[in-house]
Structure 1
Amino acid sequence: MSERTVARRYATALYEEADQTGALEAVDDDVLMLRRSLESNRELSRFFESPVIPQGKKEDVVQALLDDRVEPLLVQFLRLLVQKDRETMTKAILDQYQALRDEHRGIVDATVQVARPLTDEDRQALIDALEDRTGQSVRLRVEEEPDLIGGLVVRIGDRVFDGSVRNQLTSLRDRLRDAALSAEANGQAG
């Protein structure tokens, strides 16, 4: 079974338990905070990933660090991950939890690569266009990529919409080449 599948199963279990106990909003907030902490604090990430630190020590640290700060269900869940020797998957599980919550809320992540910064108006127009196209709320992340020359590349899940100048020029070159080859072949045939 792939790591992503296992992470999704654990995330689903956390989501369902949080929903059944009425702790969904609190768990959502705490998962977001913990995800950000893992992304910004390399030592915390290494703590969960380290095979050298004994399970008991990890459980104690999770309890001491988070006990009064996050929803008890999440503390219990993290301790369970340690007990099941799945703590190395904490980040992946939390990411899958966030993806699951986004699915239930109708939110999709979109990454757009642009040559130059977007104005607030351009950003909002892009969000509106993507929401019309997907039928979902869009959480937009913008990356500046000066090599694009112009235009943009939008990535939503596995779908890519390439409206970059580079892609348009490549497409034009390919069409001209195909037309020249076709004309050459027709000239030889006649």
Structure 2
Amino acid sequence: MNPVARRYALALYEEAEAKGMVETIDSDVETLHSALDGSRDLAAVFASPIIAREKKDAVLQSLFGGKVNDLTMRFLRLMVEKQREELLPETVRTYAALRDERLNIVEATVKSAQPLAHDEADRLRQKLEAQAGKSVRVRMVVDPSLMGGLVVRMGDVVYDRSVSHQLKTMREQLLERAAVSLN
């Protein structure tokens, strides 16, 4: 995590908190994240040292003017003014991580061969929350190569209960036993 991006993200979060606007700024940051993730060209504009600050400011105004809160817009313009706009994608990610940390939220990525039913996903989230002792935001990913079961990544921990993993484990055990019996 870049310390400068962290300082900017922390400043934005603390200002939002002081003004009672955390939910509004959270929404704005999500909008920024989607825009930056969805457009390599936009990220390239902010990363480019060749493009003038005035042009970058104009891009901010045209894309986000009236769509994000004034606090968010002042923040974006400040980053451009201070020539820190290349850190914008990382600052946005860091802001989300800081918010989650302060709200005691952890993200879990759940891969399944088929989409889970709403009640299944809800039960899984409840079990993960009980295990983590925190609120869990679940991001679902469908991966047919799993054949069945689930792979859950929560922080640095991975729980692989997929059929493909079980088959791979069984295959390795059979090969290991075959090698032992040949000796």
TM class, shorter-chain normalised? 0.7 to 0.9
Structure 1 residue runs without a partner (length 5+): 186-190
Could you tell me which residue of structure 2 aligns to residue 97 of structure 1?
95
Query: Which of 159, 162, 169 does residue 157 from structure 2 map onto?
Result: 159
Q: 1:102-131: per-residue Cα shift (whole Å, max 9, x none)?
A: 111122211111112211121111111111
Q: Distance in 1 between matches of 2:174 and 2:146?
A: 22
Q: Any idea what SS the aligned residue of 2:114 has?
A: coil
Q: 1:66 to 1:119 in 2, by over 3 A?
A: closer
Equivalent residue runs for 1:38-187 within 5 Å: 38-63=36-61, 65-176=63-174
How far the C-alpha of 1:94 sits from its partner, in A, is: 0.8
* Greater displacement, 153-162 / 79-88: 79-88
Q: Tell me which amino acid in the other structure corresponds to 1:35.
A: H
CA root-mean-square deviation: 2.5
CA–CA distance in structure 2, aligned partners of residues 74 and 84 of structure 1: 15
Q: CA–CA distance in 2 between the matches of 1:148 and 1:65?
A: 40
- Farther off after superposition, 33-42 or 100-109: 33-42
- How many pairs are equivalent? 183
**SS in structure 1 at match of 2:50:** coil
Deviates more, 1:46-55 or 1:34-43: 34-43
CA–CA distance in structure 2, aligned partners of residues 177 and 87 of structure 1 = 54
- Alignment-derived partner of residue 11 in structure 2: 13
Percent identical pairs in the alignment equals: 44
Aligned AA (1:131)? E
Deviation at 1:95, TM superposition (A): 1.2
Q: 1:155 to 1:5 in 2, by over 3 A?
A: farther
Bigger radius of gyration, 1 or 2? 1
Give the SS at the match of 2:151. strand
Query: Judging changes above 3 Å, is the alpha-carbon distance between structure 1 residues 159 and 9 closer, same or farther for their aligned structure 2 residues?
Result: farther
Q: Which moved more, 1:126-135 or 1:38-47?
A: 38-47
* Matched residue type, 2:10: T
Task: Measure how far apart 1:61 and its partner are.
Answer: 3.6
- Report the TM-score when normalising by structure 2: 0.84
